[in-house]
Amino acid sequence: MKYKAIIFDMDGTILDTVDDLVTSVNYAMGRCGHRHDFVREDGFLMFGSGVHIALQRALSMEKGMNDPAQLRRIGTPGCMTAPGIDEEELGKIEEAFRPFYLEHSMDKTGPYDGIPDLLRELRSRGFKTAVVSNKPDPAVVKLAADCFDNLFDEAAGEKEQEGIRRKPAPDMVLSVLDRFGVTPREALYLGDSEVDVETSVNCGMDCVCVSWGFRPRDFLESLHPLAIIDHPQELLSLLD
């Protein structure tokens, strides 16, 4: 067996979280006097790099930036902060977002079809499983427990205040693999975005992308992952 562990992204990979994320963005933005009429499709452009970057993208969309390539560039090297963003104001919005989202993270969120069955099958075959997300750590732990009771060996969210860099830095994933006693070449990463592919590269892991998440298939193809799957069960065929 080539792989011993499977590392999953959360948003857009195992959970359809976008409606609750957008509701929370609208709440936080509205509370701070900003645009608060974002819809589901806007969420696909905002999220993928954590809350801090998502809110920068929301503020940029408020200012008229709507090009997907420009929005995805925010939060990448060379553009870690969007042009014209007031960091103090951004901090206030983020402070409003985090507790609201934690309270409402399960209002409309649920697993994608086939994901629980896939996790049960992986565990029956002896794979270690973990979810690693740029979402706030309390939200990741809560969602993993509520939606996937005992199906993950590890659930890890963003802890940059503890010096653990968020994805695409390798810190979070490598920390989990170290606890598993598994090397990066013995693990497979499953995600739905450019952040996930870049994370896998930085970790020295193979990456499979899912087509049902936050990025369109043609964009995923441009990233050249090991494979793109259209249904969770297809991962089992790749492992075989």
What is the pLDDT of the chain when averaged over all its residues?
94
pLDDT at site 80: 74
The domain locations on the chain are: 5-16+109-239, 18-104
Element (H, E) at 228: strand 227-229
For the chain, the C-alpha Rg in angstroms (whole number) is: 17
pLDDT for residue 132 is more than 80 = yes
pLDDT at site 112: 97
Q: Does domain 18-104 have CATH number 3.40.50.720?
A: no
Indicate the pTM of the whole model. Answer: 0.89
pLDDT at site 11: 95
**Tens-digit pLDDT profile for residues 116-126:** 999 999 999 99
Share of the chain above pLDDT 90, in %: 87
Structure tokens at 60: 């940029």
pLDDT for residue 86 is more than 60 = yes
C-alpha to C-alpha distance for 4 and 1, rounded to whole angstroms? 7
**Tens-digit pLDDT profile for residues 144-199:** 999 998 899 999 999 988 999 999 999 999 999 999 999 999 999 999 999 999 99
- Burial class for 208, CB neighbours closer than 10 Å (0-12, 13-18, 19+): buried
Q: Is the peptide bond prior to 111 cis by the omega test (within 30 degrees of 0)?
A: no
pLDDT at site 50: 85
Pick left, alpha or beta for residue 39 (phi over 0 → left; psi -120 to 50 → alpha; otherwise beta). beta
- Could you please state the CATH topology (level 3) that the domain comprising 5-16+109-239 is classified under: Rossmann fold (3.40.50)
Q: Which residues contact 150 (CB under 8 A, 6 or more apart)?
A: none
pLDDT at site 1: 56
- For the chain, helix, strand, coil in percent to 5 are 50, 15, 35
